[in-house]
Amino acid sequence: MSTERHRTRRRGRSHQGEEGGQALAGQQPWKQPRNRFPPVNVLSEAQLLHIHEASMAILEQVGLEVLNDDARRRMLAAGAEAIPDSLRLRFDRHLIMECLQTVPESFTLHARNPAHNLMIGQDYTSFGCVASAPNASSLDGGRRTGRQSDYRDFLRLAQSFNIIHFLGGYPVEPVDLHPSIRHLDCLADCVTLTDKVFHAYSLGRQRNLDALEIARIGRGISAARLEQEPSLFTIINSNSPLKLDEPMLQGIIEMSARNQVVCLTPFTLAGAMAPVTLAGALAQQNAEALCGIAFTQMVRPGAPAIYGGFTSNVDMRSGAPAFGTPEYLLAAQASGQLARHYRIPFRSSNVSASNAVDAQAAYESTLALWGAMGGGCHLLMHGAGWMEGGLCASFEKLVIDADLLQMLSVYLEGMVVDEQTLALDAVREVGPGGHYFGTAHTMARYKDAFYTPLVSDWRNFESWNEAGRPDACQRANRLYKQVLQDYQPPALDDAIAEALADFVARRKAEGGVATDY
């Protein structure tokens, strides 16, 4: 009995009311923002249909290479056409479009803390932490290869900032953990250091299965219930152009079979892995995305899926990828338009190619967010901390992006227009030439009338100068350290913590996942 009480005692903070980092000035409460403004249609209806037609022609005439026997068998059984002496399949447009009919327009993605569940679809949007960077950087620590200590600090920040709604993968790759067991340690950390939605890399069948089990244990539910309640998602990148490789196909099979979330994101950089024209790159993206999403429905009709748009371009002089450019902005909004056309939830990203947390990092990110929000994005990957075109996760940029995302959240709220806010009485009271500082209307509202920033510094030049002229990056440096210091792990049932530890220990004892190095 006392053991039972001990085993069900929650560790850390309670789930209710005490969000991480609440003490942080300017921190907003947890909320999933709703994007009520109409999306920006950068394509005319004719242009949209033209791109659709081209992608159907690609699927019907060129097809995709499908590098997994099981997947090929399933596709052929569903009606795909084999091309002799090749691993390539062609897909009739009717087959693809029929499969898309069963993709849910919206669904709930469950977190182990139900307060952090996400609605994916409708007018809800959600913001993720930076993911998959091989390097981490901070102003004083410099740029270094990813390691577990940085990985865990990013998780703590992702948990602490309420505006970061989910983990889209490992914020930074902890290369000090052996690949055979890295996913076990990393995913266990997701469960213990955060209570938000997380992501499983599709890097081989066994890793998917381990991730599914960790998600199940983390929520303390049965396998049957996990299958009713999507609780894990995976990003599937087609190997552009027009290839679906083995681990990605295994990922779709394992995840979709269990009704978990597959986000299909072609990596179509125009001029390199896709045509040098935006329209061509989008047609190819669309063909690849729809093919992969159709496959999720061949595996399990009704399985949740997301349309990922990541089309950008390379600098044709150097081959370097460009992000947060006008082409990126157009492609993001056009991708959102395509996803809406098929009634599939849309994924976009907050991206920048900058090497420094400087003006370039900020304008590229803000342009990318303009693209995402105008595109009606439901799942924003790399929302906070991504730089160098994905090669580095920055602690300071995470904080600056968190400020930006909070601002978007307030923007998306729109404004209240009613008798009280129109304030005619206050206007009459003040009259020409007065000011509103002391009016009853102001006094009743001034405390939370406007957005309070995390990073932005609105002091006048003289005060700022006396304070040592800290720029946004330096202020963010101080903030991320403060948040880490204030961090407390979220509540976790002892029983779940023990089951998780047991599972990880057992799987490690089994050797984790075989690797050839």
Q: Whose Cβ is closer to a second copy: residue 105's or residue 315's?
A: 315
- Quote the tokens at residue 471: 């720029």
Strand partners, 348: 380
Instruction: Report the residue number, 41 or 206, with the smaller CB distance to a second copy.
Output: 41
Looking at the Cβ atoms of 56 and 188, the one nearer to a second copy is 56
Min dist. Cβ of residue 106 to a second copy (A): 23
Looking at the Cβ atoms of 67 and 495, the one nearer to a second copy is 67
Q: What is the rounded distance in angstroms from the CA atom of residue 271 to the CA atom of residue 322?
A: 11
What is the DSSP pairing of strand 88-90 with strand 107-109? unpaired
Distance (Å) of CA 504 to CA 7, 113, 126, 212, 433:
18, 21, 29, 13, 70
* Integer Cα distance of 413 and 29 in angstroms: 14
Task: Give 387-410 as a DSSP string.
Answer: EGGGTEEEHHHHHHHHHHHHHHHH
**CA 49 – CA 383 distance, rounded (Å):** 30
Map residue 237 onto helix, strand or coil. coil
Q: Is the dihedral of CA 419, 423, 424, 425 positive or negative?
A: positive
Nearer to a second copy (CB atom), residue 266 or residue 490: 266
Angle at the Cα of 221 (from 217 to 226), degrees rounded to 5?
A: 95
Residue placing its CB nearer to a second copy in the complex, 212 or 330? 330
Least Cβ distance, residue 431 to a second copy (angstroms): 6
> Which amino acid is located at 96 in the chain?
I
Q: Which residues pair with 235 in a beta bridge?
A: 263
Dihedrals phi, psi of 162, to nearest 5 degrees? -65, -25
* CB distance 264 to 65 below 8 Å: no
Minimum CB distance to a second copy smaller for 192 or for 365:
365
Residue number with CB closer to a second copy (422 or 501)? 422
Residue 230 or residue 389: which is nearer to a second copy going by CB?
389
Nearest approach in angstroms of CB 446 to a second copy is: 4
Distance CA 126, CA 200 (A): 18
Residue 360 CB, nearest distance to a second copy (Å)?
A: 4
Q: Specify the residue, 1 or 416, whose C-beta has the smaller distance to a second copy.
A: 416
For 210, the 3-state DSSP assignment is: helix
Q: How far is the CB of 140 from a second copy (least distance, A)?
A: 15
Residues forming a β-bridge with 445: none
Q: How far is the CB of 97 from a second copy (least distance, A)?
A: 19
Rounded to the nearest whole angstrom, what is the least distance from the CB of residue 375 to a second copy in the complex? 12
Min separation Cβ 176 and a second copy, Å: 20
Q: Which of 128, 165, 125, 158 is nearest to 412 (CA)?
A: 125
Rounded Cα distance, 331 and 471, in Å: 32
d(CA 454, CA 452): 7
Minimum CB distance to a second copy, residue 61 (Å): 7
360 CB-near residues (< 8 Å, 6+ apart): 352, 353, 354
Cβ proximity to a second copy: between 232 and 472 the closer is 472
Closer of 88 and 196 to a second copy (Cβ): 88
CB of 185 to a second copy, least distance (A): 27
The CB-side HSE value for 69 (13 A sphere, CA atoms) comes to: 0
How far the first Cα of the chain sits from its last, in Å, is 47
Least distance in angstroms from the C-beta of 228 to a second copy: 37
Q: How far apart are CB 241 and a second copy at their closest, in Å?
A: 6
Per the DSSP assignment, residues forming a β-bridge with 145 are: 135
The secondary structure of 237-295 as a DSSP string is: ---SSSEE-HHHHHHHHHHHHTT-EEEE----EETTTB-SSHHHHHHHHHHHHHHHHHH
Closer CB to a second copy, 108 or 355, in the complex: 355
Torsion angle defined by CA atoms of residues 34, 37, 38 and 42, in that order, rounded to the nearest 10 degrees: -100
